[in-house]
A and B are shown apart, each in its own frame.
Chain A
Amino acid sequence: MKRRNFLKKASLGSMATIMGIDIVHAAAIPKGYIPLLFQDNDPYKLFGKDEEMTLLNDKPWNMEAKAHLLDDKVTPSKYMFIRNNGLVPKNIDVSKWTIVFDGESIKTPKTYTLSELKSKFKHYTYQLTLECGGNGRSEFNPPAKGNQWTVGAVSCANWTGVRLRDVLNDVGVKEDAVYIGYYGADLHLSQDPNKDAISRGVPMSKALMDETLLAFQMNGEDIPLAHGYPLRLVAGGWPASASGKWINRISIRNIVHDGVKMTGTAYRVPCKPVAPGEKVTDEDMCIIESMPVKSLITYPKSGAVLKNKRSLEIRGHAWAGELAVSKVAYSIDFGASWIDCKLEKATNRLAWQHFSATVNFPKEGYYEIWVRATDSNGLHQPMLLPGWNPKGYLNNACHRIAVKVS
């Protein structure tokens, strides 16, 4: 045996001993590959998350809230879902953090330090709804692969930063610009430095909106590490994957950005409706832009038992991607009748809106409270699952909680 090979295998063996597990077929594992050491860090402590949050995945970290945890009008970090595609960057040195602007449609590439960004451009704060494109995936049938989000991959925090538009004006963008694509410091899961974990983006029209920020603060503090510290692109109302974390480069493209998870089936749905389980070719998949109308009952928690009373205060939030929510109604008879809720206006465009109602139950028994929001174009949330799609995106079926009146 060649000594080099022996040493390679011996070191894998040593690693296996350290991990307390056996690695079979070590020889088949590519050279330079470091097997997964289970991250022994507690994500709840590591990222300051509430213990009631649900951990879906620990490599990469993926965690979601439960509906009742999202009761705050402005989502605190401890209840904010985490959707990571790669590995959280380590040893971030803020004093050396830079962001490069390049791409075909840039006049001259330009680099800013983080402090230059902060000092050169005006700061804005917006409350912005970020929902994972796959929120609700767990309900699709046939099932779709990926993290099986239920209802809690949505948040609406306050984001502070500079307008991407202001920075792009300073950089100088050519007239043929079509799309921006971001790049972040998160490493691909395979630890291959030549692979991006994710590199998505938005069309110029979205990039130039007032509310599209290069943010450095969340809820008035430095952005938490899991949510993109020290710099995050925030494009509210679109799949949250468009809001790239740990941003260090933005390319201005003269084509639709073709980075990782922009192409194929990622964050895309069939361009025309398909039957459940139907095969769809990549060419027939279209990029998700604005998220659909949706709502959550955040109080009470599902499973409430009412004794000695027949009325119940309910509340929650509703949002509609780029649009506003025009109406929220509830039903306690499985959709046979609907009663309007009180609906507040949004703090700003792209922020979720709060609804509330007093529900009166006619008699004892088992009830489900369903809530259905309507967007400013008049579209309702469906009560059943919306159109099946291969990757299980855009499930905006109405939220339901169970209540017993005794």
Chain B
Amino acid sequence: MEPEKEEFRSQVKLIYRYLVMTLVLIAAVFIGVVTILIPKEINSEYQEIVTNEVNIDPSEIVDGIHIPTGFQEGDGLPIVIEACTACHSAKLVTQNRATREGWIGMIRWMQQTQNLWDLGEDEEAIVKYLATYYAPEQKGRREILTNIEWYDLDK
């Protein structure tokens, strides 16, 4: 009984060693492949990510509007694009108007219910941007009809 148990144990140890060695080998090959395959530019972009450098192509700004998103040009735009279009469309922002408190309220709601992460020190820049460029307009109890496209009905 005893020697059999001993032999079983040693076999288990052997299999375990082989298993670990195989895993190490696979990991080594994987690291090698990843290092070779990831181009330099991605590594340099990674640097950009860390140093918080953001590029918005100036040609994408037309008449004060960032064409790809529809956001108004202004301080904080890159950080707004990053935070506000991760989950939803920029259109959900640009069609809304709110005060500083209103925008903070929406951010809190998204953090509490929609998985928005802690914005940290970026929050101030985001709120400032939103409250500046997407502030409420006084509309009264009913607006006059605007943007009427006149057309000849008889034609």
A13 and B114 CA atoms in complex are apart in Å by 24
Interface string of A13-56 (1 = CB under 8 A from B): 11011000111111111100101101000000000000000011
A88 and B82 CA atoms in complex are apart in Å by 23
Tell whether, in the assembled complex, residue A24 and residue B54 are in contact, meaning their CB atoms are under 8 Å apart: yes
Given the interface pairs A57-B88, A143-B97, the reply to whether A10 lies near B145 with Cβ below 8 Å is: no
In the complex, what's the smallest C-beta–C-beta distance from A30 to chain B, in angstroms?
Answer: 6
Number of A interface residues at 8 Å Cβ cutoff, please give it: 62
Q: Which residue of B lies closest to A260 (CB)?
A: B113
A339 at the interface (CB under 8 A from B): no
Tell whether, in the assembled complex, residue A145 and residue B106 are in contact, meaning their CB atoms are under 8 Å apart: yes
Tell whether, in the assembled complex, residue A141 and residue B152 are in contact, meaning their CB atoms are under 8 Å apart: no
Tell whether, in the assembled complex, residue B145 and residue A402 are in contact, meaning their CB atoms are under 8 Å apart: yes
A7 at the interface (CB under 8 A from B): yes
B1 at the interface (CB under 8 A from A): no
A260 and B132 CA atoms in complex are apart in Å by 32
A397 and B45 CA atoms in complex are apart in Å by 53
A192 and B86 CA atoms in complex are apart in Å by 13
Tell whether, in the assembled complex, residue A57 and residue B92 are in contact, meaning their CB atoms are under 8 Å apart: yes
A368 at the interface (CB under 8 A from B): yes
Tell whether, in the assembled complex, residue B88 and residue A189 are in contact, meaning their CB atoms are under 8 Å apart: yes
Which residue in A10, A23, A400 is a CB contact (below 8 Å) of B38?
Answer: A10
A139 at the interface (CB under 8 A from B): yes
Interface string of A88-123 (1 = CB under 8 A from B): 000000000000000000000000000000000000
Which residue in B41, B54, B68, B140 is a CB contact (below 8 Å) of A22?
Answer: B54
Which residue in B96, B145, B151 is a CB contact (below 8 Å) of A301?
Answer: B151
Query: A residues touching B (Cβ–Cβ < 8 Å)?
Result: 3, 7, 9-10, 12-14, 16-17, 21-30, 33, 35-36, 38, 55-60, 138-139, 141-143, 145-148, 189-190, 192, 195, 300-309, 312, 368, 383-385, 397, 400-402, 404
Given the interface pairs A10-B43, A145-B102, A189-B114, the reply to whether A59 lies near B89 with Cβ below 8 Å is: yes
Which residues of chain B come closer than 8 Å to A9, judged between CB atoms? 46, 49
A58 and B89 CA atoms in complex are apart in Å by 6
Given the interface pairs A57-B91, A190-B114, A195-B115, the reply to whether A146 lies near B96 with Cβ below 8 Å is: yes
Given the interface pairs A23-B82, A60-B88, A145-B102, the reply to whether A300 lies near B153 with Cβ below 8 Å is: yes
A1 and B79 CA atoms in complex are apart in Å by 25
Tell whether, in the assembled complex, residue A385 and residue B153 are in contact, meaning their CB atoms are under 8 Å apart: no
Which 5 pairs between the two chains have the least Cβ-Cβ distance? Answer: A190-B115, A141-B139, A304-B153, A59-B89, A148-B95
A402 and B147 CA atoms in complex are apart in Å by 10
Which residues of chain A come closer than 8 Å to B137, judged between CB atoms? 143
Which residues of chain B come closer than 8 Å to A25, judged between CB atoms? 49, 52, 82, 122
Given the interface pairs A24-B79, A145-B98, the reply to whether A55 lies near B49 with Cβ below 8 Å is: no
Which residues of chain B come closer than 8 Å to A57, judged between CB atoms? 88-89, 91-92, 95
Tell whether, in the assembled complex, residue A29 and residue B95 are in contact, meaning their CB atoms are under 8 Å apart: no
In the complex, what's the smallest C-beta–C-beta distance from B2 to chain A, in angstroms?
Answer: 44
Other A-B pairs beyond A305-B152, A308-B154, 20, CB < 8 Å? A9-B49, A10-B38, A22-B53, A22-B54, A22-B78, A25-B122, A57-B91, A58-B91, A59-B87, A141-B141, A142-B99, A143-B98, A145-B98, A189-B88, A190-B114, A190-B115, A307-B152, A368-B145, A384-B142, A402-B145
Which residues of chain B come closer than 8 Å to A17, judged between CB atoms? 41-42, 45
Which residues of chain B come closer than 8 Å to A309, judged between CB atoms? 154
B36 at the interface (CB under 8 A from A): no
Q: Which residue of A lies closest to B78 (CB)?
A: A24
Which residues of chain A come closer than 8 Å to B31, judged between CB atoms? 3
B59 at the interface (CB under 8 A from A): no
Tell whether, in the assembled complex, residue B49 and residue A139 are in contact, meaning their CB atoms are under 8 Å apart: no
A400 and B143 CA atoms in complex are apart in Å by 11
Interface string of B8-50 (1 = CB under 8 A from A): 0000000000000000000000010010001001110110111
Which residues of chain A come closer than 8 Å to B139, judged between CB atoms? 139, 141
A294 and B150 CA atoms in complex are apart in Å by 25
B4 at the interface (CB under 8 A from A): no
A190 and B112 CA atoms in complex are apart in Å by 13
Which residues of chain B come closer than 8 Å to A143, judged between CB atoms? 96-98, 136-137
A38 and B85 CA atoms in complex are apart in Å by 9
A42 and B134 CA atoms in complex are apart in Å by 27
A82 and B118 CA atoms in complex are apart in Å by 31
23 A-B pairs (CB sep. < 8 Å): A13-B45, A17-B42, A22-B49, A24-B82, A25-B49, A25-B122, A26-B46, A56-B91, A57-B88, A57-B92, A59-B87, A139-B142, A143-B96, A143-B136, A189-B114, A301-B151, A303-B149, A303-B150, A303-B151, A304-B151, A305-B150, A307-B152, A384-B142
Tell whether, in the assembled complex, residue B96 and residue A145 are in contact, meaning their CB atoms are under 8 Å apart: yes
Q: Which residue of B lies closest to A306 (CB)?
A: B153
Tell whether, in the assembled complex, residue A28 and residue B85 are in contact, meaning their CB atoms are under 8 Å apart: no
A387 and B114 CA atoms in complex are apart in Å by 29
Tell whether, in the assembled complex, residue A23 and residue B117 are in contact, meaning their CB atoms are under 8 Å apart: no
Given the interface pairs A57-B89, A145-B102, A306-B154, the reply to whether A27 lies near B115 with Cβ below 8 Å is: no
Which residues of chain B come closer than 8 Å to A301, judged between CB atoms? 151
